[in-house]
Amino acid sequence: MPDEEALALDLGSYELKFGPATNAFDSIRRVRSVVGADRHAYPYIGPRLEVARKTGLLAQEVTPGVFWDNAAVAEKLYAFAFEQLGWESQEHNVVAAVPPAMPYDCYELSTQLFFERFNTPGLRFLASPQTALYGAGRAQGICLDVGEHATTVTPVTQDGTLRFALQDTPLAGQALTGYTQQYVLSRLGLTEPPPAPSGSKRDLGNDQSFEVQCTALKESLFKVGASYDHAVGRFRDAARLQKDAGLPQQEQQQQQQQQQQQQQQQGRLVADAALFEERDKDAVLVLPDGEKLGFVVPPEHQYRAAELLFRPAYEPHGVELLSIPQAYWNCVQALPHSVARDLVSNVVVCGGCSLITGFADRLSSELECVSPVHLRPRLTITRERADTVWKGVAIVASASQFDEMYITKQEYNEIGPNIVHRS
């Protein structure tokens, strides 16, 4: 096996994270898991993709898929990672974190791609829940990954993931982006994204710039309240204070005192009217022709989108969806009693969608509500939780004893892609 550092990969559906497998975790790099192409099929990745998107050069944008089974797109992203590091692919082993429910044929496809296209000397796949726990300093527990396309709850023991208890729900980053798109259109009085002007290369619906802008708005505007009803109640109280601002001062003070007493009895604090005004946020949507449409997002709606993660009944989907707390509890209930108590004491939260303001506190309280006293969870929620999976890959791959776990190019040549299924 080569003495060079291994390439650590986190094959996320939103971002590809990559870097040398060392304990220097600041070496991580990232790129959106998207490849754009112009009408001549010239590929655009990373910063060049952003430039091409703004200048209207793109004819399409394609992702590698949740399980990275689009080989053509995955190949370009892997090549980009090697190029950014200045590495020759035939000189470095590869360790990749993959989704916990990745189909067997997708494993074989990725194995074939690394050994035949990149001539990788050694390869190893690890389940992302395992590496998330390693990244958080745990050997076993439950990984709650709030990603782009799905939220997955996966129990992990020292023997590996317990796939029979795995739970998932589509309530994740993409669902919030979809809500944001609907909200933006409704605020602007539109039923669909505006088309590009006649003769223009840019098309808001086709080049995904509308989705990109809504993703940015989602990340900057929305937050999670300790309780949605509590948050909305505060803002309605503050709005009522604003409405009463024109009353005589003595009558206004009496009403304010009465409202404060009522709210204090319910364990709430009344939001100040000035604070309510400060929490209104301005947003802008840039149309294909360059025109900018501005609108205001009131505080109530800043909490409304992320509430989907905890109370999907607030948004009609046509089908019953599991909330994140429900998915967690279903996972715990599927576990044998002999391991359940040990695993719930190490619940590691990761994923980019978990970075929404207020998410960590709300999740803690929600999981406690659905759990009996003898199975109360103990959560590990770090500031770097978006990178926990990659960090775990780097830790494992940098260990000297890990060298014996690689699938080698020689073994691949002898057995073929099926070699990936060995234990």
Residue range 107-120, pLDDT digits in tens: 999 999 999 999 99
The alpha carbons of the chain give a radius of gyration, in whole angstroms, of 24
Q: What is the pLDDT of residue 200?
A: 44
| 350-407 tens-digit pLDDT | 999 999 989 999 999 999 999 999 999 999 999 999 999 999 999 999 888 888 899 9
Cα distance between residue 364 and residue 390, in whole Å: 24
Contacts of residue 340, defined as CB under 8 A and 6 or more positions apart, other chains included, come to 332, 375
Residue tagged 């399980």 (tokens):
67
| 157-204 tens-digit pLDDT | 999 999 999 999 999 999 999 888 888 888 888 777 766 554 444 443
| Predicted model pTM | 0.83
How far is the CA of 188 from the CAs of 102, 183, 209, 220, 305, in angstroms? 40, 9, 17, 19, 17
Cα distance between residue 147 and residue 120, in whole Å: 28
Give helix then strand counts, H and E, for the chain: 15, 17
> What is the DSSP code string of 202-234?
--TTTSSHHHHHHHHHHHHH-B--S-HHHHHHH
3-state class (DSSP) for residue 120: coil
In what side-by-side order are the strands of the sheet with 60-62?
43-44, 35-37, 60-62
Q: What is the pLDDT of residue 215?
A: 87
Tens place of pLDDT for every residue, the chain, 423 residues? 566 899 999 999 899 999 999 876 788 999 999 999 888 888 999 989 888 877 778 888 899 988 999 999 999 999 999 999 999 999 999 999 999 989 999 999 999 999 999 999 999 999 999 999 999 999 999 999 999 999 999 999 999 999 999 999 999 999 999 888 888 888 888 777 766 554 444 443 444 578 888 888 888 888 888 776 665 555 555 444 444 444 455 554 555 556 555 544 444 333 333 333 335 788 888 776 677 888 888 877 888 888 889 988 654 545 678 899 999 999 999 999 999 999 999 999 999 999 998 999 999 999 999 999 999 999 999 999 999 999 999 999 988 888 889 999 999 999 999 999 875
Burial 339-362 (b: 16+ CB within 10 A, else e): ebeebbbbbbbbbbbbebbebbeb
Q: What is the pLDDT of residue 204?
A: 39
Cα distance between residue 47 and residue 34, in whole Å: 11
3-state class (DSSP) for residue 54: helix
Burial of 33 (0-12, 13-18, 19+ CB in 10 A): buried
